[in-house]
Structures are given as structure tokens and as C-alpha cells.
Structure 1
Amino acid sequence: MNIVITGASKGLGKAISEKFAADKQGHSFFLCARNAETLKAFATELQARFPRTTVNFYACDMGVKAEAEAFANWVLGFNKPVDILVNNAGQFVPGSISNEPEGVLEQMIQVNLYSAYYLTRVLLPHMIQARQGHIFNMCSIASLKAYDNGGAYSISKYALAGFSRNLREELKPHQVKVTAVYPGAAYTDSWSGSGVDPQRLMDAGDIAEMVYATAHLSPRACVEDIILRPQLGDL
């Protein structure tokens, strides 16, 4: 399979990349992240660990339209069908609507919503023409339930859920699947140093397992929503 993953160098994107690379199929990866050095190090490590794979990488800021579209066109330049697209690029800035800094909403919308919109818009005609592919949009529990200090982040994730639902309806006749993923707290770099016991959180690999399993169903089945929470509930 040809697998496109944004925000791939750490957290859930990294875990999903590792999960697909670990099987024996020898997939081709097209990975992006903002930090070029971190991305190159991960891509090199992934290629070395799983020599059956082909790991291509491209550093860009997915919240910038021109960069997101450049990444999309770079992917298309390989002349390979996109089998899986994981819109994972995102950012979390805590705060309340009443007091968060000016510009946070615009920032959250750019990174958490527009990144997926820009990339998907360029790749989609090719997926529709091929009548195949599976799009995973990494939403959040914050897409489903407002919570204290969620502010602009939660607004952007609600919007991403709306994008995913509309996309699902639009693509039903074209045999392109769409899955919205709603993870609760999983232990990634963003929780490092928070003081929260890692045992209270899910593993990033838990989310990767569900995405992997969902991607391997028959063409006649589509999991529309994946909701995962820590066993003890949300934090």
C-alpha cells in the first residue's frame, strides 16, 4: 500500500507509521512533519528497522496552504495511487475563549482543520478516479464534548469532525472510505513532563492498532468512527 501520513515524526503519527511498517507487505510511505531534522531521523530509523518498506519524507508546515499543497503535489509526483491518507497534523494550545491570546483560534483552525482540507482536496480527485483509498481524520474526544480550557482547540476539532462527516457522505459512491478517529488522552510527547502518570493514559500504539485494523476490512465495510478513551475515563 501507499500510505500518506502527516505529523508523522512523533506521537500518533509516528505510532501509526510504525504499525503499518511492521507488517510484511513492504508498504511505501510518504511522511511529512514540520521539523525537518526530527522527520529525517525518524524516516531513516523506520527504513532501517523495516527494510521491506520504502520511506519517503517531506518537511513542511501543513497549516500553510502553499506548503500543504506542495506536499500533496510531491506525493502525486510519484505516480502511485494513495491507498491510505492519515490527516494527523495538529497542535494543542490550551485556553478559554474569554482569555486565550489573540490569534489562537486562527492558528488552531489552520493547523487542525485546514491542513486536512488542503491536502485532501489535492489528493481526492486521484483517489476518486482510482475508486479506492481510505482517509483517516485524527479528530479528538474534544470533537465530541466541550471541556474546560478547551477553547479554540476544541472548536477546531469539532470542525474537523464536521469535515470528516461531510467527506464520508460525499465519497460513498466513489468507493473511498472515510474514518474519523476520536482518541482520548494517549501518552505522547505532549504529555511528557505533565506530571500525569503514564499508566493513567492510553498508549499511542492503541490508536495505531485500531487504525491498522480498520484499514484491513473488506471493501464492503467502512468504520465511520473510532472512539477510544483511557480505561478510567477522560482526564
Structure 2
Amino acid sequence: MKVLITGASRGIGKAIANVFAKQGHQLFLSSRNEQALERTADQIAAEYPQATVHCKAFDLSRKEDALALAEWMEQSAGAPDILVNNAGSFEPGSVHNEADGVLERQLSINLFSAYHLTRALLPLMMKNGQGRHIFNMCSIASLKAYDNGGAYSISKFALYGFSKNLREEMKPHGIKVTAVMPGATLTDSWEGYDNSSRRIMEAKDIAMMVYASSQLSVQACVEDIVIRPQLGDL
């Protein structure tokens, strides 16, 4: 299968890329940081020679880059069989006092990146028919507001709304849509956190759930993946 993953240079995106590479799939990886992306692609190619790995850097907070990524994908190999909209960022804050512009930045990377990239790829994905699958990396913050969530939580609520609408639209076209909502996961957002007690999840936990959901029969769709630490949210 052809698997396009955004935000693939680190964290959950990198973990998802590794899981699919282990099974020998053809990967198309993107992130904003070109050097980190190339390191990740080289690591995956070396560890999993059975996989084919392509990578190209784009800043998906920019609409023109999202459209360029879609064009690169289609020119390279046509429509992806699996699209993982994982690009995103976290800026802590509260609605009443966060800096001006935070909401716009959070929406641009956490929502608009997925919206514009998906819209650009959908015509060819719909033409090719059933068997395609779109994963949108939402968050527990898509389901419940929490302290210091602010614009980030707003953007993730919006991404979940996008996923639910897309799910309904794509049913007759045979394209599955899954919203992934992880709780606390050891990624850069938790940099410096001491996880020696295994209080929060590992990125590979999320990756394994995404992969498992992609392997079901064409008549089965996991609509939502909600996964939390065993002891619950922090």
C-alpha cells in the first residue's frame, strides 16, 4: 500500500511510519523540518529494507504547501491508499489571555493542513474507489476542554468535526475515515517528562492502533480511536 504521513519526522507520525515500514509498505513522508525528516527516512530505510521510503519537506501551515504536497504525491505514485493527517503543534494557553495570533496558528497547522491536503487528494482517491483510508490525528482535547488548552483544544475540536463530516461524505465512495484521539503520549509536547513510572503512553501505542484499524475488511470502519493512559488523563 501507498501510505502518506504528515508530521512524520518525529513522535506519533514517525512511529506510524515505522509500523507500516515493518510490513513492507511504500511510504511517502512529510514534515516541516527537512533535516529531521531526512534522518527519519534514512533510519526507516536502513531498518526496514523491505519498505520503500520517499520524503519531502513542506510547511503545511501554508495552504500552498499543502497543495504542493498533494501534487508531489500524485506525481510520484498517484493517490495514497492511506492518508495520515498527523501534522500539528501544541501551544499552551487560555482563551482569555493567550497571545494574539495563537488561534490562527493552531488552526492553520492542526486543522487547515488536513483540510486542504485532503481536499486536494480526494478527487483521485474517490476515482480509484474503495480501499482508501484517511486517519485524522485529533486528541482527547477534541472531546473535553481542559485547563491551559485554549486555542489548541479549539483547533482539535474543529479537526474532529472535520473528521465526522468527512466520514459521512465518503461512505458512498468506499473511503474510510478514522478520528484518532490519543491522551497523554510521550512526544515532544511532553519534552523533559520523566516517564520512568510509565504514567503516559508511548507513540508506538498509537501507531499500532492506527495500523490495526487499517487492516480490517473493506466493509468495516473504525470511526473513532480513543486511547488513554491506563491511569487516565493527567
- TM-score, length basis structure 2: 0.97
Over 3 Å counting, the alpha-carbon distance change for 1:129 and 1:90 in structure 2 is same
Task: Name the structure 2 match of 1:66.
Answer: 64
Post-superposition offset of 1:192: 2.0
Alignment-derived partner of residue 107 in structure 1: 105
Deviates more, 1:160-169 or 1:40-49: 40-49
SS in 1 for 2:230: coil
Unpaired segments of 5 or more residues in structure 1? none
Match for residue 87 of structure 1?
A: 85
CA contact (8 A) 2:22 2:50 kept: no
Query: Match of 2:216?
Result: 217
1:141 aligned onto 2:128: no
Matched letter for residue 121 of structure 1? R
Is 1:171 the equivalent of 2:176? no
The Cα of 1:189 is off from its aligned counterpart by 2.4
Amino acid at match of 1:214: S
Aligned position for 2:12: 12
Q: Which runs of no fewer than 5 residues in structure 2 stay unpaired?
A: none
Offset of 1:188 from its aligned partner? Answer: 1.4
Which whole-Å deviations, capped at 9, do the CAs of 1:77-106 have from their partners, x for residues lacking one? Answer: 024331100000000000000110100000
RMSD over equivalenced CA pairs, Å: 1.0
Which amino acid is 1:168 matched to?
R
Q: Distance in 2 between matches of 1:152 and 1:196?
A: 26
1:100-120 Cα shifts (integer Å, max 9, x gaps): 010000000000000000100
Matched residue count:
233
Deviations 1:149-183 (A, max 9, x none): 10000000000000000000000000000000000
Whether 1:123 aligns to 2:117 is: no
Instruction: Quote the residue 2:186 is aligned against.
Output: 187
Cα contact 1:187–1:198 (8 A) shared by 2: no
Hey, what's the Cα distance between the residues in 1 that align with 2:207 and 2:190?
18
In structure 1, distance between residues paired with 2:101 and 2:7: 22
Task: Name the SS of the counterpart of 2:221 in structure 1.
Answer: coil
Q: 3-state DSSP class of the match of 2:198? A: helix
- Give the secondary structure class of the aligned counterpart of 1:187: coil
